[in-house]
Amino acid sequence: MKYLLSLACLATSILAAPAPPQGTFEWTPTLAGYMDVVFQYIQQAKAGGASPTCDLSKAAMPVAPTPLPAPSGLTLEHVALGRGVQNYTCPNATATPAAVGAVARFYNVSCVASDWADLLPIMPNLALQYPLPSDPNAPLEPSNLALSTHHFFSNTTTPVFAFDAPTSPDLGTIFAQKTSSSDAPANAVVGANGQGHGAVGWLYLTSRADTVGDIKAVYRLDTAGGNPPATCQGQPSAFSVDYAAVYWFYK
């Protein structure tokens, strides 16, 4: 069943973000839950609630099951919703899939993190249910989020975060390295439509010396999907698994 959701103009006029979906989207429980929270904020705004500030000093990261190092002495600069794929290779049918990086587009959710924190953990699951826009520079629906970052790997161990889109904040290009990790929570979304092999881990990344800009640390949290099957049985030599996550950037 599909519903035409036409409240985007109303929500946008009351809240700077997030806007409900524009156009026709397949109804899912995740979308319904997201819309319920959005509508609650709309009602609060109508009743004279506090105006959004996009003040990142108010944003608080979730705590990983195995706590990650705190960003002591650092300042939160940006929060982004990542949507893309984790890439794997299989040398033979009896091997375990080997991670060889990821490719993703990131979308600006800084205001969501600061003003509507209970929407943030819903968003990776919601993003996982829908494909990326065909136009690489288009905003991400159904939340109308602006593109902020391109994520890829320069080699199998070096994640790169490039703030190179027209709508990107001026945060340079981060070359990072994994410093600490935690398994995702037991209730993390395993994959799109509840089908998959689990959520990739939560990460604490630190910037390398070749980073351009002032970002010192990146956290990957609230992951959804991305894990490969346990073995390479029946898999091609190279394959990708859809994932989404929330990334926090500190300088």
Structure confidence by residue, pLDDT tens digits, 114-170 = 988 888 999 999 899 888 999 999 999 877 899 999 999 999 899 999 999 999 999
d(CA 207, CA 188): 27
Residue 165 lies in a domain: yes
- Domain range enclosing 224: 73-250
- The answer to whether residue 64 sits within a structural domain is no
Q: How many CB atoms lie within 10 A of CB 175?
A: 17
Q: What is the pTM of this model?
A: 0.86
pLDDT score of 27 more than 60: no
Res 32: pLDDT:
63
Report if residue 148 sits inside a domain.
yes
pLDDT at residue 5 greater than cutoff 60: no
Mean pLDDT of all residues in 187-208: 95
At 174, is the pLDDT very low, low, confident or very high (cuts 50, 70, 90)?
Answer: very high
The most confident of the ranges 8-12, 125-129, 170-174 is 170-174
Upper half-sphere CA count for residue 218 (Cβ side, 13 Å): 28
Compare 171 and 35 and report the one with higher pLDDT.
171
Decide if 37 is inside a domain: no
| Residue 178 maps to a domain | yes
Q: Are 159 and 205 in contact (CB under 8 A)?
A: yes
pLDDT attached to residue 129 = 87
Distances (CA, A) of 103 to 79, 140, 172: 18, 16, 18
The pLDDT value given to residue 194: 87
The pLDDT of residue 130: 84
Question: What is the H or E stretch that residue 5 is in?
Answer: strand 2-5
Percent of the chain with pLDDT over 70: 79
pLDDT tens-digit series, residues 35-51: 566 656 555 555 555 55
Q: State how far the Cα of 113 lies from the Cα of 174, in Å rounded to an integer.
A: 21
pLDDT score for 144 = 82
Residue indicated by tokens 């690489």: 136
Query: How many domains would you assign to the chain?
Result: 1
Whether residue 110 is contained in a domain is answered as: yes
Residue 220 lies in a domain: yes
In a domain, 23, yes or no: no
* 14-18, 172-176, 226-230, range with the lowest pLDDT: 14-18
- Can you tell me the mean pLDDT for 61-73? 97
**Confidence band (pLDDT; 50, 70, 90) for 54?**
confident
Strands 98-108 and 238-250: unpaired
